[in-house]
Amino acid sequence: MGKLVSATRARAIRQRLRKQGKIMVFTNGVFDLLHVGHVRYLQAARKLGHALFLGLNSDLSALQLKGPGLPLMPQAERAEILCALACVNYVIIFDQPTAEHLVEMLQPDVYTKGGDYAAEIPGTEHGEAGKPLPEARIVESYGGRVVILPYTAGCSTTQIMDRILKLRCPQEDKVVDSL
């Protein structure tokens, strides 16, 4: 059985893990241009339980969230890269802008996001940037735990894209020699 699973298959796996008393961790995101910040985050998330399920925004939902031209990498390639990581047990591609439906369906023991998010529930650590985290209320409703993991400064897809664009010389439309 591969790591890329449907939501229905993920629910069956989740039920089996629950019967075994194992802790399921869930996270979600676009994961475009995988970088060291993503890897560190996913490794830390996996350490919070026995299995890490990752909800991956489809190309359609990523476009809705990020705007025209994004994601840079198609969902099939992003999924393949994420499935290759030892710390990720299962990947579920979803079309909605948030993973609320997956969180409600799977009811993970631990729901995690990076430090650029803010859980809006009492007793939960808040991310520095404070992006809203609608899934947190669902997790709270069934007694799960929300964990905001540290953000790796200087490691974001946007920052990487900005660095690449700064290497281009718009007047001459050529790459600037960085040496």
In the structure encoding, which two tokens stand for residue 155, read together? 């490691």
| Domain 7-151 top-level CATH class | alpha beta
Q: What percent of the chain has pLDDT over 70?
A: 85
Q: Tell me: the pLDDT tens digits for 113-169?
A: 987 765 554 444 444 446 778 999 999 999 999 999 987 777 777 777 777 778 875
pLDDT value at position 172? 47
Q: Where are the domains of the chain?
A: 7-151
| DSSP per-residue codes, 21-86 | TPPEEEEEE---S--HHHHHHHHHHHTTSSEEEEEEE-HHHHHHHH-TT--SS-HHHHHHHHHTST
Q: Which is more confidently placed, 80 or 172?
A: 80
Dihedral sign from CA coordinates of 108, 54, 151, 41: positive
Helix count and strand count (H, E) for the chain: 7, 9
Residue 112 pairs with which residues in a beta bridge?
A: 147
pLDDT of residue 1: 62
What is the residue type of 21? G
For 18-47, how does the pLDDT look when each residue is reduced to its tens digit (9 = 90+)?
999 999 999 999 999 899 999 999 999 999
Residues 6+ apart with CB under 8 A from 62: 30, 32, 70, 71, 75
Asked if 88 and 111 touch (Cβ cutoff 8 Å), the reply is: no
Mean pLDDT of the chain: 87
